[in-house]
Amino acid sequence: MKAKLRAEVHGSSDERSLRLATWNLMHFGNGGAYRRTPESMLYIGEIIDHFDLVAVQEVNRDLGALERLVERHLGPAWDYIVTDTSGANKGGDAGNDERLAFLYRKAKVTFRKEAGEVVLPEGQEIAAPGSDTGNGEREVQFARTPFSVAFQSGWFKFKLVTVHIFYGDKSESSPEMEQRRREIHKIAGFLAERQELEQTALINRAREDGWDEPQDAGRAANYLLLGDFNIVSPEHHTMQALKDAGFEVPTELDATNLSGTHHYDQIALKAADPRFEFIRSGVFDMFDAVYRGEDAAHYVDIVKPDVFEKNSRKQQRSRAQKERYYKTYYRRHQMSDHKLLWCALKVDYSDDYLNRIVAEGGD
């Protein structure tokens, strides 16, 4: 796995770039079959440590697993910011009592002391299946409230917003699919409007301070939107809802679910800084390196996890059933049912700065 990470990630980016990733860590922190073994925690830590800033979705109400990951496997060079859970009831809310988190390498990324959950203004809520409005719909906030944090890496200042969009019914004509599209449309539109207001405020302040070129002040109004959007495909209306607000999506990003059929996870950008540049992006498939299909016999015959022995009906599994359980469930529960999505961003603008001085005739 280390060799794969070096070749795919570090081999195509350098230390002058920001290695940014998003990863839905399936039910991370849940007990039972979802409780990660020390082996799995080492794998997860190794993967995250090859990046500088990682947005994580599906962190459970119990923060024990996240705390162990940072303290024991990533170490003091890393820090994290995490939201409260999505609901107060016992697992019955649409957000499944999940948290959203950012993990970041402190030597490469600075937290700019601004963080908050995105709440839509009154009258701009999302229409969802129900009966509150009398027409079979109700007005709601996001099932899982998006999380916005201000960071800086190198010369690049940005707001990073992570989401886990409502899934519901996957049928194309279902009200839940429409709610999914509406959530994407609302968050993208909200951030596009927020960026415009922020950019205007920065330029106005620069004018008041007497800057010769106040438009340069607006360069700091950069928004990165990433996470699990539950987007079906690049051509689907769920993706169009993201692009309609002017967000740019790297074209080389591949499907991120394990079957390779859906583009659930995405990284999108609306940059005000003209120097911004996507250097590279990709999808990291951990099961090419660990918990491979051909490793099933090893886990059945040597490792012998307790969860292999009996099914949900307390019936003893045969050897063939244990191998099937390993391939279908165990390795996903230990790692995730999503691949990690990543990109490298240009954050060192010193060359641009020096070239500009030369072009202007400076000494």
How confident is the model over 145-157, as pLDDT tens digits?
899 999 999 999 9
Q: Supply the pLDDT for residue 91.
A: 42
* Each residue's pLDDT tens digit, 186-236: 898 889 999 999 989 988 988 888 887 777 777 888 999 998 888 777 777
Q: What are phi and psi of 308, to 5 degrees?
A: -75, -25
H helices within the chain, ranges in order?
2-8, 38-48, 64-68, 175-208, 237-243, 296-298, 319-325, 331-334, 350-359
Q: Supply the pLDDT for residue 362.
A: 59
Cβ count near 134 (within 10 Å): 7
Q: Could you tell me which of 353, 169, 157 has the C-alpha nearest to residue 273?
A: 157
* Separation CA 302–CA 307 (nearest Å): 14
Q: Supply the pLDDT for residue 182.
A: 87
Question: pLDDT averaged over the chain?
Answer: 87
Q: Supply the pLDDT for residue 135.
A: 59
Place of tokens 């051509």: 235
What single DSSP character describes residue 94?
T
**With 60 as the cut, is the pLDDT of residue 88 above it?**
no
Cβ count near 8 (within 10 Å): 18
Highest averaged pLDDT of the listed ranges 130-144, 211-225, 264-278, 329-343: 329-343
* Separation CA 245–CA 256 (nearest Å): 23
If pLDDT is split at 50, 70 and 90, which confidence band does 265 have? confident
DSSP 168-220: ----TTSHHHHHHHHHHHHHHHHHHHHHHHHHHHHHHHHHHTT-SSGGGGGGG
* Separation CA 348–CA 271 (nearest Å): 15
End-to-end CA distance of the chain, in Å? Answer: 49
Task: Answer for the pair 103, 48: CB distance below 8 angstroms, yes or no.
Answer: yes
Q: Supply the pLDDT for residue 262.
A: 65
| Mean pLDDT (whole number) for 271-277 | 89
If pLDDT is split at 50, 70 and 90, which confidence band does 109 have? very high
If pLDDT is split at 50, 70 and 90, which confidence band does 345 have? very high
Place of tokens 């207001």: 197
Give the three-state DSSP class for 329: helix
Task: Answer for the pair 230, 180: CB distance below 8 angstroms, yes or no.
Answer: yes
**With 90 as the cut, is the pLDDT of residue 45 above it?**
yes
Q: Tally the residues of the chain.
A: 363
Q: Supply the pLDDT for residue 89.
A: 45
- Which percentage of the chain shows pLDDT scores above 90? 49
Distances (CA, A) of 109 to 17, 48, 112, 156, 302: 11, 14, 9, 10, 42
Q: Supply the pLDDT for residue 137.
A: 67
Q: Supply the pLDDT for residue 327.
A: 96
* Separation CA 242–CA 145 (nearest Å): 17
If pLDDT is split at 50, 70 and 90, which confidence band does 92 have? very low
Is pTM beyond 0.75? Reply is yes
Q: Which domains occur in the chain, in start order?
A: 2-290+337-359 (3.60.10.10), 292-334 (no CATH)
User: Widest CA span of the chain, in angstroms?
Assistant: 80
Task: Answer for the pair 256, 339: CB distance below 8 angstroms, yes or no.
Answer: yes
CA angle 106, 115, 224 (to 5 degrees): 75
Q: Supply the pLDDT for residue 246.
A: 86
Q: Which residue has the higher pLDDT, 14 or 153?
A: 153
φ/ψ bin of 210: left (φ > 0), alpha (ψ from -120 to 50), beta (otherwise): left
* Each residue's pLDDT tens digit, 173-197: 888 888 888 888 889 888 999 999 9
If pLDDT is split at 50, 70 and 90, which confidence band does 119 have? confident
